[in-house]
């Protein structure tokens, strides 16, 4: 079943006129593996530990771990501002809010979900060849990965004072268990602003998340070729013979 039909109505009600264009791209990146999804109706409080980093328009960067901001929100403090979402409302229906309180322009925000057991569920569209996510937001009823239900690709909504263009990139495809990634779940998303979100400006968007049991990418285990094992054995034998000669 879908996460919530009311999410469509809510998005339309809060969209308003958006001055700048907003697009998404999707790259495979570094594959991640999750043993299972633990829920698709994720709230801000369920993303505790997610790592958020941001870069400044004048150079430099900073980062923080997702946590309780009190007042019914979870997120990270950015100077006297924040990036936050409701602690109790699912991200399928709740807006994310960025308020730049850093005193200088912010050019990008990156959300790494793995430390907070968080997956970004984009809008899967069966019309995309090969099947994958697109910029349409909700995936036209295509659920994608089993247990993930519908997703929303990142989408700018009304209410923020920032009116520039936005481009988001989803990266690090996630598959469940031994199954290959379907193409709708990603470990991270980076939001790039045209110019920057200026000091004191705000930006509001929608981005759906799921819960997962993963913590980190799978280890990249390199298995040596048989010839490599033979060389290692010969080298070890030479060392043993040399040591025995010294002892004689």
- pLDDT tens digits, 38-68: 888 899 999 999 999 999 999 999 999 999 9
120 burial level (CB within 10 Å; 0-12, 13-18, 19+) = buried
- Residue 196 pLDDT > 80: yes
Q: What local confidence, expressed as pLDDT, does residue 220 receive?
A: 37
Name the band, by pLDDT with cuts 50, 70 and 90, for residue 26. Answer: very high
Of 206, 212, 151, the closest CA to residue 187 belongs to 212
- Taking only the tens place, the pLDDT of each residue in 116-173 is 999 999 988 777 766 678 776 665 566 788 888 888 899 999 889 999 999 999 999 9
123 is written with which tokens? 């809008």
Q: Residue 100: what pLDDT?
A: 98
Q: Convert the pLDDT of each residue in 59-107 to its tens digit.
A: 999 999 999 999 999 999 999 999 999 999 999 999 999 999 999 999 9
Q: Is the pLDDT of residue 16 over 90?
A: no
* Cross-strand pairs, 121: 185
Count how many Cα atoms sit within 13 Å of the Cα of residue 132 in the half-sphere of its side chain.
15
Does any domain span residue 114?
yes
205 is a domain residue? yes
Number of structural domains the chain divides into: 1
SS3 16: coil
Compute the mean pLDDT over every residue in the chain, rounded to the nearest whole number: 81
Threshold 0.85, pTM exceeds: no
Residues 6 or more apart whose Cβ sits within 8 Å of residue 182: 124, 131, 144, 145, 175
Q: Is residue 38 part of a domain?
A: yes
Distance CA 117, CA 111 (A): 12
Dihedral of alpha carbons 146, 150, 154, 159, sign:
negative
Instruction: For residue range 168-186, list pLDDT tens digits in order.
Output: 999 999 998 888 888 899 9
In a domain, residue 76? The reply is yes
95 lies in some domain: yes
Which domain, by its residues, includes 12? 6-247
Residue 1 lies in a domain: no
């Amino acid at each position: 079943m879908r996460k919530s039909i009311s999410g469509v109505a809510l998005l339309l009600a809060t969209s308003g006129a958006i001055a700048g264009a907003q697009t998404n791209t999707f790259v495979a990146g570094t594959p991640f593996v999750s043993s299972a999804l633990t829920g698709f109706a994720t709230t801000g409080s369920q993303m505790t530990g997610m790592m958020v980093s941001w870069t400044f328009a004048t150079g430099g960067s900073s980062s923080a771990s997702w946590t309780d901001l009190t007042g019914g929100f979870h997120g990270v403090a950015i100077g006297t501002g924040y990036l936050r979402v409701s602690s109790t409302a699912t991200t399928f229906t709740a807006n994310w809010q960025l308020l730049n309180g850093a005193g200088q322009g912010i050019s990008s925000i990156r959300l790494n979900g793995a430390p907070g057991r968080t997956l970004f569920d984009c809008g899967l569209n069966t019309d995309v060849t090969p099947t994958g996510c697109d910029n349409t937001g909700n995936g036209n009823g295509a659920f994608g990965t089993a247990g993930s239900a519908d997703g929303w690709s990142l989408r700018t909504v009304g209410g923020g004072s920032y009116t520039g263009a936005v481009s988001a990139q989803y990266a690090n495809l996630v598959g469940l268990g031994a199954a290959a990634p379907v193409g709708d779940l990603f470990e991270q998303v980076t939001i790039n602003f045209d110019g920057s979100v200026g000091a004191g400006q705000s930006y509001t968007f929608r981005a759906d998340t799921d819960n997962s049991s993963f913590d980190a990418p799978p280890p990249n285990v390199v298995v040596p070729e048989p010839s490599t094992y033979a060389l290692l054995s010969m080298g070890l034998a030479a060392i043993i013979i040399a040591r025995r000669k010294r002892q004689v």
